[in-house]
A = this chain, B = another copy of it.
Amino acid sequence: MNTVEQAVIIGTGLVGTSVGLALRRAGVRVWLRDRDSRAVAEAVRLGAGHPLPATARPSVDLAVLAVPPAAVGEVLRDAQREGLAKHYTDVASVKAPIIVAAAGHGCDMRSFVPGHPMAGSEQSGPGAARADLFVGRTWALCPTAAVRPEAVATARALAELTGAAPTELSAEAHDRAAAIISHLPHLVSSALAAQLRTADSTALRLAGAGLRDVTRIAGGNVPLWLDILSQNADPVADTVDDLIEDLRHVAAELRSRAAIADSNASPAPALASLLDRGNDGRQRLMAERSS
């Protein structure tokens, strides 16, 4: 079985530093690099690994690219030119555009396994990292036709060392799934939170746990999410259109009911259907997660 004895992490933000902490806990030797030397210093202080030496390079099994989606292609090309590691993976929230970008930059696709651990936080930076961020979570791997089996095995070993469950699927399936389960929710949470910016203070004082939960992810890092949503533009736009269609029907129905004197007399089929389907979808999510 392939395993990871030494790893390099490029990008010591929340995810990169969490990978470092998890691998260190699993006994892996971890080297860290970031273009921001303070971020490396903080990740080192937190125990996520040691700074990657400029010379006397260690023999590294796997380089984990934990940089923003738009940067992965270039960073991968440079790392491969340096011969930084035997195998490479990334953690970006979109996969098909990453593969296109990597191929476009002339990267060696035989050693690269596109990956995405399904875990994160609305916080960012190494200070928010946690060694247990990936425990019990799914780690998506989207191997291309070009990749060597041992690269995939190494990426699977990485996921398992952090406590995650590796799952292989195509980049396109990943991106459609991510649009529904992550990107659309982020956009909608932001749109809800945006309405609070100009709301009365009284309204905000009335707010309860429901609003706090539903807007939590709206607190996420703006440049990162601008990048993620832009990279997955078409699948996200499709899901937004579906959601708008649902809400448009409900709004029209509510207005027509408000115009009726005794609104309790008239049925509200669009609203009833949306609430029912919402109940079903929520139940399905919770069942799937606990299975």
**Contact at A285–B241, with CB atoms within 8 Å?**
no
Interface bracket on A:
35 or more
A246 part of interface (Cβ distance < 8 Å): yes
Q: Residue-by-residue, is A272-289 near B (CB-CB < 8 Å gives 1, otherwise 0)?
A: 101111111111111011
Tell me, yes or no, whether A193 is within 8 Å of chain B by CB. yes
- The reply on A219 being an interface residue by CB < 8 A is yes
Separation of A10 and B194 alpha carbons in the complex (Å): 38
Q: A264 touching B234 by the CB < 8 A rule?
A: no
A213 at the interface (CB under 8 A from B): yes
A258: B residues at CB distance < 8 A: 233-234, 237
Q: Is A206 an interface residue (CB 8 A)?
A: yes
Residue pair A278, B189 in contact (C-beta under 8 Å):
yes
Smallest beta-carbon distance A99→chain B, Å? 15
A254 cross-chain contacts in B, Cβ below 8 A: 229-230, 233-234, 236-237, 240
A148 to chain B, nearest CB (A): 24
Contacts A190-B277, A281-B197; is A268 near B230 (CB within 8 Å)? yes
Q: State the CA gap A215–B184 with chains docked (Å).
A: 12
- Could you give 19 example pairs across A and B, Cβ below 8 Å? A173-B200, A177-B200, A180-B199, A181-B199, A182-B211, A185-B210, A186-B210, A187-B274, A190-B275, A192-B281, A197-B277, A204-B284, A213-B213, A214-B216, A218-B281, A219-B283, A226-B271, A230-B254, A237-B258
